[in-house]
Amino acid sequence: MSKTLLQFILLTLILVLAQVLVFNHVSLFNMAVPMVFIYVILRLPITLSLNWMLTIGFFLGLTVDVFSDTYGMNAFGCTLLSLCRRPILRLYVPREEDLTKPEPSMLSLGSGIYLKYLLTCTLFYCILIFTIEAFTFFHPLQLLLRVVFSTLLSMIIMLGIDSLMTPRSEKRL
C-alpha cells in the first residue's frame, strides 16, 4: 500500500472516532454541532473515480450513522456530498489541470479558493443534514442558525486539522 492510502485510512479512522465519541456530543448553545468527518471526503484526490467516491462517501456516512443512531442521514448526506464535490470544485477551478496536486488542499488550490471550496461543501452538507433532521420548515430561523453556526464551527476545526496535516516544509504564508 502506498503512503497516501495509509494516511487516508488513518485519517478516516481518527475522524470517525472523533466524530462519534467527541463531536456528536458537542453542541454550542444548542445550535452548532461540528461535522468534521466530512473532511475525509473533501480531501480525497480529484482523480478518484466517481464510483469510488460514492462508495467511500456512503460507507463513511454509514459508519457514523451506526455509531450515532442517525438512521441513514449521514450516509445520504455523504453520498450526495461525494457526488457534488467535483462540480463544486469546478466552480472555483475551471480546469483540473490547474491543480498542482490531485488532492484538494490549501497548497494545491491556494488559500482563497480552498476556503471557498471548504465553505461551499460544508454549507451544502450542513443544509442537507439539518433539513433532513428537522424534516420541517416550521422554525426556519432556528434551522438557519443551526446551519450557519455548524458550518462555521466545522470549518474552523477542519482548517485546524488541515494545518496539522500539511507538512511544515510545504506551508505557505
* Interval 81-131: pLDDT, tens: 999 999 999 898 877 666 667 888 888 888 899 999 999 999 999 999 999
Selection from 62, 37, 64, 8 nearest residue 54 by Cα? 62
What CA–CA distance (Å, rounded) separates 60 from 76? Answer: 10
Residue with the bigger pLDDT between 169 and 124: it is: 124
The pLDDT tens digits for 126-161 are: 999 999 888 877 788 999 999 999 999 999 999 999
CA-atom Rg of the chain in angstroms: 16
> Confidence class of residue 168 from pLDDT cuts 50, 70 and 90?
low
Instruction: Report which secondary-structure segment, H or E, holds 26.
Output: none
Predicted TM-score (pTM) of the model is 0.90
Q: Rounded to whole angstroms, what are the CA distances from 33 to 56, 71, 172?
A: 23, 18, 30
Q: CB under 8 Å to 97, separation ≥6 — which residues?
A: none
What CA–CA distance (Å, rounded) separates 106 from 142? Answer: 32
